[in-house]
């Protein structure tokens, strides 16, 4: 997959996962997800997937396009 696609998907996962974590924790209100433990956990998983994708993209960029 091209790096920019992986990076974009990773950033979307980070953003959406972060919002879901905050909603699940009750910090962001106004949604059916507010205060729901399930959405906190789903958001945490999505956020971590985003971290992995962004880190993998950054690692490939530093090593000339190839992950080691």
- Residue 58: inside a domain: yes
- Residue 15: inside a domain: yes
What is the tens place of the pLDDT at every residue in 7-65?
999 999 999 999 999 999 999 999 999 999 999 999 999 999 999 999 999 887 776 65
- Residue 67: inside a domain: no
- Residue 50: inside a domain: yes
- Residue 33: inside a domain: yes
- Residue 12: inside a domain: yes
| Category of 40 on φ-ψ map: left (φ > 0), alpha (ψ -120 to 50) or beta | alpha
Write out the residue range of the structural domain in which residue 10 sits: 3-62
- The first and second tokens of residue 3, run together, are 């790096």
Number of domains in the chain: 1
pLDDT value at residue 1:
57
């Amino acid at each position: 997959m091209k790096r920019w696609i992986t990076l974009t998907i990773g950033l979307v996962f980070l953003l959406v996962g972060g919002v879901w974590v905050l909603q699940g924790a009750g910090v962001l209100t106004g949604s059916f997800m507010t205060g729901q433990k399930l959405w906190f956990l789903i958001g945490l998983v999505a956020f971590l997937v985003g971290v992995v994708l962004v880190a993998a993209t950054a690692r490939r960029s530093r090593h000339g396009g190839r992950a080691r």
